[in-house]
Amino acid sequence: MSPDKRYHLTTFGCQMNEHDSERMKGMLESIGYSEAASRADADLILFNTCSIREKADERFIAHLYEARAIKRRAPETIVGVGGCWAQSVKDEVFARFPFVDVAFGPGQVPKLAEFLTSDSLSAQGFFEFESFTGHLPAKRAREHQGWVQISVGCNCACSYCIVPSTRGREVSRDPDELVAEVRSLAADGVREVTLLGQNVNSYGRDLRGERRASFAELLGRIDAIDGIRRIRYTSPHPKDMREDVIRAHAELPALCEHIHLPLQSGSSAVLKRMRRTYTRERYLDRVALIREHVPDCALTTDVIVGFPGETEADFEATLELVEEVGYDGAFTFAYSPRRGTEAADLPDQIAHELKVERLERLVEVVQRRAAERARRFVGRRLEVLIEGPSRTDPARLRGRTRHNKVVNFDGIGEPGELVEVDIAAASSQTLSGAMSLVGPLRG
C-alpha cells in the first residue's frame, strides 16, 4: 500500500461512536493512512453513522451524497460507511447507494482494516457482532481525556430504541483488562476517563467465575489507579441504578459529582409502553437517594416527547417532574419512529406539530431550572480541567468542572491542567469566572 494515503472521517451520534471513531483513526494510522483536511483531499471517505432518530439519518445522507460527487470526479476514492445506520440497513446500503465500497456495523472496525489491506476492493459489508473496538489503538481527540468501552450491546427492550438491533446483546469486557487499559491511559497522560456502555449499571452481570465484577467494584478499581483524577460514565439505566453506585459517588475521590440519569417520560403509563421497567415513583426514589448521598450532585437527563399515545396529562406529568427534580441540563427529543421497533407500530402516533409544541414547552422548563441550579455555583471556587481556549473569546480559557459544567474563564494554563476557578456568573449552559491566584492544583 502506498504510504501517503489519506482518510477523512465524519462522526455522527453518541459518545460510543466518538470512541469507535478514535479507534478507527488509530487503526487507519497504524496501516499507513494519515488524516486529510477535507473530504475532497481524501483517498478514503468514511462515515461513522447513527440511527437513533430520523434526523440523524437525514443529516448523514446529505453528507453521503457529497461523497458521491467527489467520487464522480475522483473514481479511485473509497467510500466507507460504518456504525449504527449501516447496521440498521445492512446490505441494502449497496443497492441504495451503489457508490459505497464498504459498509460495516459498530464494532467491525478490524474488518475495515482487513478490507483496506486486501487486494479486492469490490463492495463488501460486515455486520456480524463480534468484536470490541477497545482492543484497537486509538487516536485520542483530547490528549487528557479518554473513553473506555466497558461493554457493548444492550439487553433492554425499550420499545422506541433501535440500539438493541444495531449493537446486539450486552457483552461486558474483562475487568482486569479494563483496569490495565486505564493504567496505560493514565501512563499516557490521561487525567479523565469516561466509561461507556449502553447500560453501564448492568456491567459484569454476564461475566462468570473469577472475572465477575459489579459496576461499583469496577469504579473502585479504576478510582485507585494513579493519575486518574476524574471518572465519568454514560449511560446508566434508572432500573439498575443501585445504592452501591450512588455511594461510590460520595466515597471515590475521582468519581465526579454528575449523574446522567435518562428519564424519557414522567408518566408511568408512557414509561410502561416504552418498556422502561420503572415507574415515575421509582425514578424519583433514585433521585432522592442520589440527593441524600451526594447533595451537590449535578443531574442531567434525556426526555422524549410525543411518544405514541402521550396525552396532555402524560406530558404535564413529565413537565412537573422536570420542574420538581430541577435538572442541571437535559437532552430533549421529539419521538421519532424507527424501523423495526415496537413503538413504530403502536397506535395513536402524535402529530409533528404537537411534538414540536411540547418540545418547546419542555425546553422552557429545562432551561429555566438549569439556570436556577447553575446559580448555586456563583461565588464558589471550583476545580476545572482545562480543555483549551474559549470558543467565544480566544483570550480566555475553557474547561469543565467535576459537575460537567463548561466554564469560560480568565487565566493561564495548558489543556489537561487542573486549576481552581472562582465562579462569578452562570447561565443555563455555561459558567464564567477567573482562575484563582493559588496556581495550578496537583496535576
Interacting residue ranges for ligand 5AD, rule: CB under 6 A:
52-53, 160-161, 262, 264, 302, 304, 333, 335-336, 338
Residue 264: which of ligand SF4, ligand 5AD, none does it interact with, CB under 5 to 8 A by kind? ligand 5AD
* Least distance (Å) between residue 410 CB and ligand SF4: 36
Closer of 17 and 159 to ligand SF4 (Cβ): 17
Residue 16: which of ligand SF4, ligand 5AD, none does it interact with, CB under 5 to 8 A by kind? ligand SF4
Residue 338: which of ligand SF4, ligand 5AD, none does it interact with, CB under 5 to 8 A by kind? ligand 5AD
Closer of 108 and 318 to ligand 5AD (Cβ): 318
Closer of 166 and 267 to ligand SF4 (Cβ): 166
Closer of 104 and 333 to ligand 5AD (Cβ): 333
Closer of 162 and 418 to ligand SF4 (Cβ): 162
Residue 290: which of ligand 5AD, ligand SF4, none does it interact with, CB under 5 to 8 A by kind? none
Closer of 89 and 161 to ligand 5AD (Cβ): 161
Residue 62 near residue 84 (C-beta atoms within 8 A): no
Residues sharing a CB contact under 8 Å with residue 26, sequence separation 6 or more, in sequence order: 136, 137, 138, 139
Distance, in Å, from the CA atom of 77 to the CA atom of 73, rounded to the nearest integer, reads 9
Helix (DSSP H) and strand (DSSP E) numbers for the chain: 13, 19
Count CA atoms within 13 Å of residue 99 on its CB side: 19
Closer of 328 and 387 to ligand 5AD (Cβ): 328
Continuous H helices in 5-49: 15-30
Binding site for ligand SF4 (CB under 6 A): 13-14, 16-17, 50-52, 83-84, 162-163, 166-167
Continuous H helices in 260-351: 268-273, 280-293, 312-325
Continuous H helices in 202-297: 215-223, 243-251, 268-273, 280-293
Bond into 184 cis (ω within 30): no
Distance, in Å, from the CA atom of 242 to the CA atom of 234, rounded to the nearest integer, reads 15
Residue 335: which of ligand SF4, ligand 5AD, none does it interact with, CB under 5 to 8 A by kind? ligand 5AD
* Least distance (Å) between residue 309 CB and ligand 5AD: 14
Closer of 39 and 167 to ligand SF4 (Cβ): 167
* Least distance (Å) between residue 332 CB and ligand 5AD: 8
Closest CA to 368 of 398, 410, 405, 326: 326
Name the residue type at position 263.
L
Distance, in Å, from the CA atom of 443 to the CA atom of 432, rounded to the nearest integer, reads 22
* Least distance (Å) between residue 267 CB and ligand SF4: 24
Closest CA to 343 of 276, 274, 278: 274
Closest CA to 367 of 424, 304, 300, 313: 300
* Least distance (Å) between residue 299 CB and ligand SF4: 21
Residue 302: which of ligand SF4, ligand 5AD, none does it interact with, CB under 5 to 8 A by kind? ligand 5AD
Name the residue type at position 171.
V
* Least distance (Å) between residue 279 CB and ligand SF4: 25
Distance, in Å, from the CA atom of 58 to the CA atom of 66, rounded to the nearest integer, reads 13
Residue 299: which of ligand 5AD, ligand SF4, none does it interact with, CB under 5 to 8 A by kind? none
